[in-house]
Structure formats: structure tokens, C-alpha cells
Amino acid sequence: MRQAWRCMRSPCVGRFPCAVSVRTVVDSGYQSARADAGRRAKGRVSAILATTGSRERKEGSMRVVREFRLESLLFAAFFSTLPLYSPNLVMFNDLFPASGEVMPWFVNAMMLSAVVTGLFVAVASLRSGGAVFVGFPAVSAAAAFYVGGFVLFALALAVPGFGVGVVAFVAGLAVAVGVVPLCLAWGTYFSALDMRQALFSLAVLVGMGSLAELLLSAVSMQVGLVAFALLLVLGVLLPLWKALRGELSRTVRDAAEGEAFVSDPLASELVASVDGAVGLLSSARRMASVLAMPLVGLLMFGFLMGVRKFMLFDLIYVEALGGIVAAVVVLPLSLAEMRCPLLPLVYQVVLPLFALALVVLNSFPVGTGPQWLAASVSYVFYGVIGILALASLCAMAHAREFSAPLIYGLVVAAFALVSLAGIWCGSLPLFAYQQGGPVLLVLSTAYFALLVGVPLVAAWRREVALPVDDACAPVEGVGVLQERCERLSREGGLSPRESEILAYLGRGHGIAYVAKTLVISESTVRTHVKSIYRKLGVSSREELLQRVDEG
């Protein structure tokens, strides 16, 4: 042993096998001891969680139902009249003979103006936070433009010679100027919900809105106009009331003061130092890194809804029926007792399996039962995609990494752009062949391949390059573990977001899991983790787990 010790202290230690052997043994023993300590701490934490996990998940499901806000039912009225969702305009095509002349002016002006308005709001929100766009003056003016624009649109359709082109164009501009702030107001309202709450609420509300849309397309002109006008007014009441009370602008300001929207210091310097366009692109890239698949799905949904209107038995528009069935499919997901984060499970397991089933059905010859079933069920599939994407956006706003006006300004602009592209493509000869079925099949299959391929690539990367994360460890903890984390948070002076992340780290979860669960970027989680380590005086995950275990 003395000989070995002398070899370790010798300047030529690297030349002698005995020295290398002893150093290797010492280093490996130290690393092994640290790893064993971490595993023991993690094992004791897991033992605590094992007795409480099932009860927590049941309580979480009940909480989602119990905290559903009845006032949010008014969103169903707003959704059923939202003109950016092109199936909502089908009623006017069916009821008015003059729609062929009026509709292009109205739709083109509205969609293009919505793109410009959404981008303007997003750029302005980078600098000011966007509270002004959800204040009472802005929301009340938006409601007036929104309702007034639809009144002009109805007059252009119903009154012969009422300045068809000019009036329809002005109506489209007015509706666009009104609909963007109203979307921001509703989005800010729903930013109080976490992922499961948003998914449950939106499934209920989108299902009800799709049912209202289906009924509107099946009634007479007079009844349809009266019902649409009533829904139009109901859809703006809650944003007006919340804006009048100052709740919406206060939500945006509190989020800006409580948590920086750009948590990465490098990104903060970038946004502060560059012009609006570059800052907007930077924010869009960071948003895409968090919710790439939901955002792509939402845009695909908007494009396909704009391209094709498909009727079932020449009686029912499948878009509306698909929204109803999609809501029924999503509801159990929002209430299911799961040990894994919801979004990764849906986008890595549920939707890829759904997509593979549609690929198989689409492989049958045209006109056969399976192929017809695939064409109908695909609307359900994209309805599910749309609801999941909207809930993901609410969860992103809830996480406060980005401001709600920035999120919804960008998304409204992008959705209006792809919807307009879909409407334009629907008039091309390429899409006229078999009602665009072959082209849409190619696009849908490409998206299905993306859904299947992304999880496979992610799994391969984890296997060969990344440490395995505890993807299916318990999601929530109460009792002893929660008390320990809260006590450590108070002792270290952690912020609310850092305390939330500490609770996940204390249960043994990794950075990727925390980012997926809280719907924030991994770089933001790393920034918070460094701050947690510094405040608690630890330098590794093993030391942190030991602190949690010791209480």
C-alpha cells in the first residue's frame, strides 16, 4: 500500500501501471459512493411516493372537474362564431345566394388583416408585455369592431347592391381588428389553467361549439341569423366583463413581474438589444422548441379545414361532427390517472398509433369502406390535434415563460395565414381533382410520418447520447416529501417557480421531464436548477436528493 501511495505521489505517475490502477480504483470508488448515495436517497423518496401516488392522481382528476368554471361556457359561443376557423363561415355560403361575390372580399381582407394585426401585437408584446391589448379600452373597441364587422358582412350578403366589394372588404378589416384582441383576451383568461384543466375545459367547450356550428348549418336563414347574432354577442361578454374588472391586464402584469418571460439570460440580452423582427423570430423559435408538434398540428389542422368541406350523406358537415367526436375522445385523456407527463404520452404513443391506423385505412382503394372511413375519421384526428394544441398553448401561457399576448398574437397570425393558404389552394385545379383527396392524402401521410418518426428519433437519441430520464416516475408528491421541499424552499429563499421545479427534482425527475411537464424550455429549467443549487448550497443532483431526504 505504501508503494502504491508513493507511486500516486510520484511526478511520473502516468507512466506506471500500478499508479494508474490505484488512481482508477480511488476515483471509481468515489464516483460509486456518490452514485450509491444518490440511489439510496432516491429509493427512500420513491418509497414515500409509492403510498401516495394513486391517491394524488385520483384527487387530481377530481380537481380538474371541480374547478371547471361555468362562466367559461361562453367560450363555446365565441368558438362557434370565430371566423378564423373557416367551417364557421359555411353557414353563410349555404344561406345566401350572393355569397359567391361577397365571401372572397370578406375572407381575404379578414385573414390578411388578422395576420398583420397578430404580428403587430406579438412584436409590441416583446417590449411592453402586452397588458394594454387586454385592457378594457382595447377589448371594448375590439368587441365593437367584431360585432359591427359581422353586421356589415350580413348586410352585404342580404341587401342586393349594397356596395358588395367595398362593404365586404371593410367588414373583413373590422372583424380582423376585433377578433385578434378578443382571442388574446380569451387566451389570457384560460392562462390560469394548467395542462389538464385546460384540456378538460377546452374539450367540453370545443365540443359544445362544434355542436352549435352543426345546428347552425341545418336551420333556415332567419333562425340561423338570429342564433348567430345571439352567439356573437354572448362570445364577447366574458372578455368585456373581465377586462372591465381589470383582471386580464392584471394577469399579464403580474406574470411579467413574477416571472421573466425570457428566463435564459442570453435570450434576454438578445430581445433587449435587437429590433422587433429579430426578437420575434427568436421568441418564435423558443416557443417552437417547447411545443413544436402541437403547433405544427394546429397549423396543419387550419390548412386542411380551409381546403376542403366534406359532407356526410350530403347532410352533415364532417368538420363539425369531427369536433364533437374529438371532444369525446379527449375528455378521458384529461381525466385519466397517469404517472407520465400528458403531452409526451399523447404525442409519442397515442397520436402515432392513431396515425398508423389511418395510414392503413387510407391504403385501401378509393371508394371502399375503409378508405371512406379514413376520410371521415381523419377529421376526428385533426380535431383531437386542434384541442390538444389549444390546451398546450394555455399551459404555455400558464407557465409564464412567454406572455399570453405574445403567444396568441403569433399563433393567431400563423393560423390565419395557413387558413387563407388552404382556402386559396382549394380553388386550384390540383385540389379540384376528386375534391383534393389525393393531395390531402399525401399531406396527411407526411404529417403522420412526422408523428411516428419524431418519437423514434427521440428514443434513439436518448438511447445513444442522453442519460435515461425517469419518464414514468410519479408526477406529484404530497405529505412528507412535499413538506420537505417546501421547507427547503423557505430556507433557501427560492422563487415560486424554483420551488415548483425543486419539487420535481426532489422526486428524482430530470430536466427533460420537468420541461415537458411544466411546458417550458429545457434551457429555462437549467437556469432555474443552477439558481436552486446556488441557493441551497449543493453542487450535484445527488447532494440535492440527500438534502430532500434529510429534510
The domain that holds 489 is classified in CATH as: 1.10.10.10
Q: 364 and 506 in one domain?
A: no
Tell me the CA distances in angstroms from 288 to 284, 309, 402, 407, one per residue in order. 6, 29, 12, 11
Kindly list the distances between the CA atom of residue 208 and the CA atoms of 66, 76, 141, in Å, as whole numbers in the listed order. Answer: 19, 6, 27
**Residue 80 scores a pLDDT above 60:** yes
Better-predicted residue by pLDDT, 323 or 290:
323
Q: Is the pLDDT of residue 176 over 90?
A: yes
Q: Is residue 166 part of a domain?
A: yes
pLDDT higher than 60, residue 133: yes
Q: How confident is the model at residue 34 (pLDDT cuts 50, 70, 90)?
A: very low
SS3 state of residue 524: helix
498: closest CA among 477, 478, 518, 516? 518
Of 293-297, 331-335, 433-437, 514-518, the range with the lowest mean pLDDT is 433-437
Give strand pairing partners of 312: 316
Q: What pLDDT score was predicted for residue 436?
A: 64
3-state secondary structure 332-361: HHHHCCCCCCHHHHHHHHHHHHHHHHHHHH
Query: Burial code of 301-323, b = ≥16 C-beta within 10 A, e = fewer?
Result: bbbbbbbbbbeeeeeebbbbbbb
Average pLDDT value for residue range 126-142:
88
**465-487: pLDDT as tens digits:** 544 444 444 444 445 677 778 88
Residue 435 confidence (pLDDT) above 70 = no
Single out the residue of 472, 468, 470, 458 nearest to residue 340, CA to CA: 472
Average pLDDT estimate for 101-106: 85
Is position 276 within any domain?
no
Which residue carries 367588414 as its cell? 171
The answer as to whether 304 is a domain residue is yes
Count of Cβ atoms closer than 10 Å to residue 431 Cβ: 19
Q: How many CB atoms lie within 10 A of CB 332?
A: 9
pLDDT digits (tens, 9 = 90+) for 331-352: 988 887 766 677 777 887 888 8
Q: Give yes or no for a contact between 185 and 161, defined as CB atoms under 8 angstroms apart.
A: no
**Residue 511 within a domain:** yes
Q: Residue 480's domain spans which residues?
A: 470-550
> Which pLDDT score is estimated for 188?
93
Q: Quick one: 474 and 456 in the same domain? A: no
Per the structure, the count of domains in the chain is 2
Q: What nine digits make up the cell of 150?
A: 359581422
> Which residue bears the cell 377546452?
202
- Whether residue 447 lies inside any domain: the answer is yes
In this prediction the pTM is 0.77
Q: Is the pLDDT of residue 315 over 70?
A: no
Instruction: Answer positive or negative: Cα dihedral of 183, 74, 297, 86.
Output: negative
Residue 397 and residue 486 in one domain: no
Structural domain contains residue 285: yes
pLDDT at residue 308, rounded to an integer: 65
> Given this model, what pLDDT does residue 264 score?
41
Does 219 lie in the same domain as 313? yes
Q: Which of 461, 493, 517 is the last residue of a domain?
A: 461
The answer to whether residues 349 and 483 belong to one domain is: no
Please indicate, yes or no, whether residues 444 and 479 belong to a single structural domain of this protein.
no
Residue 275, domain member (yes or no): no
**Considering the domain boundaries, does residue 1 fall inside one?**
no
Domain match, 494 and 362 both: no
Per-residue confidence (pLDDT) for residue 25, from 0 to 100: 36
Higher pLDDT, 42 or 416: 416
Clarify whether residues 334 and 414 are in a common domain. Answer: yes
C-alpha angle 379-385-388 in degrees, rounded to nearest 5: 140
Work out the number of other CB atoms within 10 angstroms of the CB of residue 159. 12
Last residue of a domain, one of 434, 461, 488: 461
The angle formed by the CA atoms of residues 124, 125 and 129, to the nearest 5 degrees, is 135
Q: Which CATH number characterizes residue 409's domain? A: 1.20.1250.20
Cβ atoms 158, 96 nearer than 8 A? yes
**C-alpha distance across the termini of the chain, in Å:** 40
Buried/exposed code over 44-63 (b: 16+ C-beta within 10 A; e: otherwise): ebbebbeebbeebbeebbee
Per the model's pLDDT, the better-predicted residue between 514 and 111 turns out to be 111
> In terms of DSSP bridges, do strands 311-312 and 316-317 run parallel, antiparallel, or are they unpaired?
antiparallel
Which of 19-28, 52-61, 67-76, 109-118 is predicted least confidently? 19-28
Q: What percent of the chain has pLDDT over 90?
A: 22
Burial class (CB in 10 A: 0-12, 13-18, 19+), 42: buried
Whole-number percent of the chain with pLDDT over 70: 76
Last residue of some domain: 461, 485, 507?
461
Across 277-286, 332-341, 379-388, 400-409, least confident range: 277-286
- Grid coordinates belonging to 50: 409509492
Tell whether 436 and 484 lie within a shared domain. no
* String of DSSP letters for 296-336: HHHHHHHHHHHH---EETTTEEHHHHHHHHHHHHHHHHHH-
Query: Is there a single domain that holds both residue 188 and residue 242?
Result: yes
Greatest Cα pair distance, the chain, in angstroms, is 106
State the average pLDDT for the chain. Answer: 76
pLDDT score for 86:
76
Cβ pair 425, 94 in contact under 8 A: no
Q: Would you state the pLDDT for residue 472?
A: 42
Whether 185 and 320 share a structural domain: yes
**Pair (539, 429) in one structural domain:** no
